[in-house]
A and B are shown apart, each in its own frame.
Chain A
Amino acid sequence: MSQFALFGNPNTGKTSLFNNLTGSYEYVGNWSGVTVEKKVGKLRHHNGQLIDLPGVYSLNPLSKDEEVVTEFLLTDEFEKILNIVDASQLKRNLQLTIQLLEFGKPLLIGLNMIDVAKTRGMSIDEKKLSEMLGVSIVPIIARSGKGCDVLSKELTINTNKEIKPSKLKIDYGFLEDAIERIIKLLPDHISMNKRWMAIQFLEGNKRVEGYIYSLKIDETSLEQIKKDVEGNLVNRGVKSSIRQYIYNVRDQKISSILKEVTDVASLKKQNATELIDRIVTNRFLGIPIFLLFMYVMFMLTFDWLGSPLADLLDGFLSGPVTDILQSVLTAIGASSFIKALILEGIVAGVGGVLVFVPQIFIMFFLISFLEDSGYMARVAMVMDRVMESIGLNGKSFIPMIIGFGCNVPGIMAARTIEQPKERLLTILLTPLMSCSARLPVYALFVGAFFLKHQALVVLSLYVLGIVVALVVARIFSSLFFKGESSLFVIELPPYRIPQALTLWRSTWEKGKGFIRKAGTFIFGGSVLIWLMAYAGPHGMNVEMDDSFLAMVGGLLAPVLSPLGFGTWQAGASLLTGFLAKEVVVATMNIIYHVPDTTSLQGILSNHYNALSAFSFMAFVLLYVPCLATVATIRKETGSTKWTYFSIIYSLLVAYLIAIVIYQIGGLFL
């Protein structure tokens, strides 16, 4: 049975085309990396099999997915290559096409998304492109299936297993000599295209390199050729590596082809996405724009929308709800113990956290908006430049952005990073991102001490988390993770206005966990904390200062004193906060047992001032990751050593930052 292999860049509609041609129902995703391993399907109208391979930008493997593709070319038998090319991203897609042409197997191009290209004002002369590349091209719209029948027919005619050199031969200039030298070293019996192997070897394709070495060729001669080329590059004043040089030569060739086949006049018409990208991903404006978006987000979350709504909810919980509960408890003859447990324990603890639900939902809504609009992918790109200077890249920023919602999925998302050391570093840094569970703590304190600058103070804490992560990354990468790096490639989706239903669903999915947690764990935690505050070594219903909670919290108070909050209350809140950061607020509500958030904020001003409040918030932001995060770090790194390391280093960093804020800040205030 004839076998055909489907190659293409990620997100070009490869899986859609596969399903169309084979009639099988493979899972179709709309983000990069849906095809993790190769899949095989039977062609619908013809006798043959189609193999769907993971989407790759180049044959040179950077990740395990990409390795599958090179491995396939080296070891598997197949008749023809079906290369799906995104017509709207022709320049980038042809990089892979050229490498496949160099491989030398018969090749057919499915030119997909011609509709998208047209709406962008791009017209492509397919006949001319076909002539210049020396292969057949069939325009298709894989999503709707248009043109797929023609493609299928074209695919199954004229199949032959003989490998022919490609008609398109790129002149690699002074590399040609090295290519010839490598070809001469390769044994005659191999069926692979020797020129392709030589170019891939020079490009640094590790899989091809391994294959060539397995042929028992003199390794030193091969290495010498590579060294000669590198020396030649330096002599010619070329600053790039061999890989970059080859990329540039191909890029020039592609540009000259595109000049011939695309309508240049219409190309000049910029679409909205490109125009926005020019501004938001600008080298100098990118980061200030990101900060501005965050500032507006916090203004909406705190000043403009969130706080008034939270006040309404607070009034409702501390007013009617408490009154009704009180009368019900009196009516059924509840004892003072049960009354205190429910009103001072559960209502104070759970209610104290629930009042921040409006703010949490507003923030999640805005984050979902930025994600769905396509802006978040740009943030990773903007941050790539900064991240590169600290030994990481923009890919590591994606788990960190996810970490703004909850650190656990952030750490899980680090799995997409191929380079083990970069992945470990990202796992260690993600807990420094301010997750939504810290938000109630900020909301409580900014409401009490920074009423006029709520958004600005919260923004400063988020930025503090990012800056500390960058500094720590710089230190760690120079101490433990020297000299290893990977490339960052990200698919930038076109901007779109998010749909209301999708936005609501995504907000609800993120936010419902917070409400669920309030009804389950925060409830349990509140009861336990209340009991510890109610009981002491001298019996029940003791003065709070003589309770078990005061005893435990008091152990930490002297250590916390230099940070500006050396009270047993702060110690107890921080200790319980390890279980989940929202509990810090629940504990404070129970300790100070006040009827509503406003009164709590009033009481807090007796124990804190603006400076110690900021120092406390910074400490809550940075000190040990919560229990769930710690356990996830343990599971994801598979290392107890790194888990303890993540706890200890964050504690030290938090202590250092808080002491600097309080002690140095005190000199100026």
Chain B
Amino acid sequence: MLVNIVIGLAIFGYAGWMLARHFKKSTQGKCAACSLNKSCNTSCSIDTQNTSSITELK
């Protein structure tokens, strides 16, 4: 019985934590959501000088 509770808690706890983390990271967008964020040294390091200009189109 105890084994079942421990395994159940561990699995649901980990699953919940992973889901919450994924949701948080994904909704942050940009580099946080990117699958290459650990190794990428191009896009993320580009200065965001162009970002402001696009907001003119809103």
Question: Assuming the A-B contacts A423-B50, A636-B51, are A527 and B15 also in contact, with contact meaning beta carbons closer than 8 angstroms in the complex?
Answer: yes
A409 touches B36 (CB 8 A): yes
Partner of A580, one of B15, B22, B47, B58: B22
When distances are taken between beta carbons in the complex, the residues of chain B under 8 Å from A627 are 23, 26-27, 33
Q: How far is the CA of A579 from the CA of B19 in the complex (A)?
A: 10
A509: Cβ under 8 A from any B Cβ: yes
Q: How far is the CA of A406 from the CA of B46 in the complex (A)?
A: 18
Chain B 35-53, CB within 8 Å of chain A: the 1/0 string?
Answer: 1101110111011111101
Q: List 28 A-B contacts (CB under 8 A).
A: A334-B3, A334-B4, A335-B4, A338-B7, A338-B8, A342-B7, A342-B11, A346-B11, A405-B36, A408-B34, A408-B35, A409-B36, A409-B43, A412-B34, A415-B51, A423-B50, A423-B54, A520-B21, A524-B16, A527-B12, A579-B22, A627-B26, A627-B27, A631-B28, A634-B29, A637-B54, A638-B58, A639-B54
Q: Tally chain B residues at the interface, Cβ within 8 Å.
A: 44
- Sort A-B residue pairs by CB-CB distance and give the 7 closest, nearest first: A631-B29, A524-B18, A513-B35, A628-B33, A527-B15, A412-B43, A635-B29
A639 touches B57 (CB 8 A): yes
Q: How far is the CA of A412 from the CA of B35 in the complex (A)?
A: 12
- CB-contacts of A386-418 with B (<8 A): 405-406, 408-409, 412-413, 415-418
Q: How far is the CA of A627 from the CA of B35 in the complex (A)?
A: 13
Which residues of chain A have a CB within 8 Å of any CB of chain B? 36, 64, 332-335, 337-338, 341-342, 346, 405-406, 408-409, 412-413, 415-418, 420-421, 423-424, 509-510, 513-514, 517, 520-521, 523-528, 579-580, 626-639, 641-642
Which chain B residue shows the least CB distance to A641? B58
When distances are taken between beta carbons in the complex, the residues of chain A under 8 Å from B36 are 405-406, 408-409, 509-510, 513
When distances are taken between beta carbons in the complex, the residues of chain A under 8 Å from B31 are 412
Which chain B residue shows the least CB distance to A402? B43
When distances are taken between beta carbons in the complex, the residues of chain B under 8 Å from A64 are 49-50
A517 touches B30 (CB 8 A): no
Partner of A420, one of B26, B46, B54: B54
Q: How far is the CA of A335 from the CA of B3 in the complex (A)?
A: 9
When distances are taken between beta carbons in the complex, the residues of chain A under 8 Å from B14 are 523-524
Q: How far is the CA of A424 from the CA of B50 in the complex (A)?
A: 11
Which chain A residue shows the least CB distance to B50? A415
A415 touches B25 (CB 8 A): no
When distances are taken between beta carbons in the complex, the residues of chain B under 8 Å from A638 are 51, 54-55, 58
A415 touches B48 (CB 8 A): yes
Partner of B8, one of A341, A514, A635: A341
Which residues of chain B have a CB within 8 Å of any CB of chain A? 3-4, 7-8, 11-12, 14-19, 21-23, 25-31, 33-36, 38-40, 42-44, 46-51, 53-58
Which of A517, A626, A636 has the largest count of B CB atoms less than 10 A from its CB?
A636
A521 touches B48 (CB 8 A): no
Partner of A636, one of B12, B28, B29, B42: B29
Question: Assuming the A-B contacts A412-B44, A415-B46, A639-B55, are A524 and B3 also in contact, with contact meaning beta carbons closer than 8 angstroms in the complex?
Answer: no
Question: Assuming the A-B contacts A628-B34, A631-B33, A641-B58, are A524 and B22 also in contact, with contact meaning beta carbons closer than 8 angstroms in the complex?
Answer: yes
Q: How far is the CA of A417 from the CA of B34 in the complex (A)?
A: 19
A413 touches B26 (CB 8 A): no
Partner of B57, one of A408, A420, A513: A420
When distances are taken between beta carbons in the complex, the residues of chain A under 8 Å from B35 are 405-406, 408-409, 510, 513-514, 517
Q: How far is the CA of A341 from the CA of B5 in the complex (A)?
A: 13
State how many angstroms separate the Cβ of B2 from the closest Cβ of chain A. Answer: 10
Q: How far is the CA of A517 from the CA of B56 in the complex (A)?
A: 36
A521 touches B18 (CB 8 A): yes
Q: How far is the CA of A629 from the CA of B54 in the complex (A)?
A: 18
State how many angstroms separate the Cβ of B48 from the closest Cβ of chain A. Answer: 7
State how many angstroms separate the Cβ of A411 from the closest Cβ of chain B. Answer: 9
Q: How far is the CA of A409 from the CA of B46 in the complex (A)?
A: 12
A337 touches B4 (CB 8 A): yes
Which chain A residue shows the least CB distance to B29? A631
Which chain A residue shows the least CB distance to B35? A513
State how many angstroms separate the Cβ of A461 from the closest Cβ of chain B. Answer: 20
Q: How far is the CA of A641 from the CA of B33 in the complex (A)?
A: 21
Q: How far is the CA of A525 from the CA of B38 in the complex (A)?
A: 23
B8 touches A409 (CB 8 A): no
Partner of B11, one of A333, A513, A527: A527
Which chain A residue shows the least CB distance to B58? A639
When distances are taken between beta carbons in the complex, the residues of chain B under 8 Å from A418 are 50
Partner of A524, one of B4, B19, B29, B38: B19
A421 touches B3 (CB 8 A): no
State how many angstroms separate the Cβ of B34 from the closest Cβ of chain A. Answer: 4
Q: How far is the CA of A523 from the CA of B29 in the complex (A)?
A: 21
Q: How far is the CA of A637 from the CA of B51 in the complex (A)?
A: 7
Q: How far is the CA of A633 from the CA of B29 in the complex (A)?
A: 8
Q: How far is the CA of A408 from the CA of B21 in the complex (A)?
A: 17
Which of A629, A634, A638 has the largest count of B CB atoms less than 10 A from its CB?
A638
When distances are taken between beta carbons in the complex, the residues of chain B under 8 Å from A639 are 54-55, 57-58
Q: How far is the CA of A168 from the CA of B26 in the complex (A)?
A: 58
Q: How far is the CA of A64 from the CA of B17 in the complex (A)?
A: 43
When distances are taken between beta carbons in the complex, the residues of chain A under 8 Å from B43 are 409, 412-413, 415
B50 touches A332 (CB 8 A): no
Q: How far is the CA of A521 from the CA of B18 in the complex (A)?
A: 5
State how many angstroms separate the Cβ of B32 from the closest Cβ of chain A. Answer: 9
A524 touches B47 (CB 8 A): no
B26 touches A631 (CB 8 A): yes
Partner of A632, one of B12, B15, B30: B30
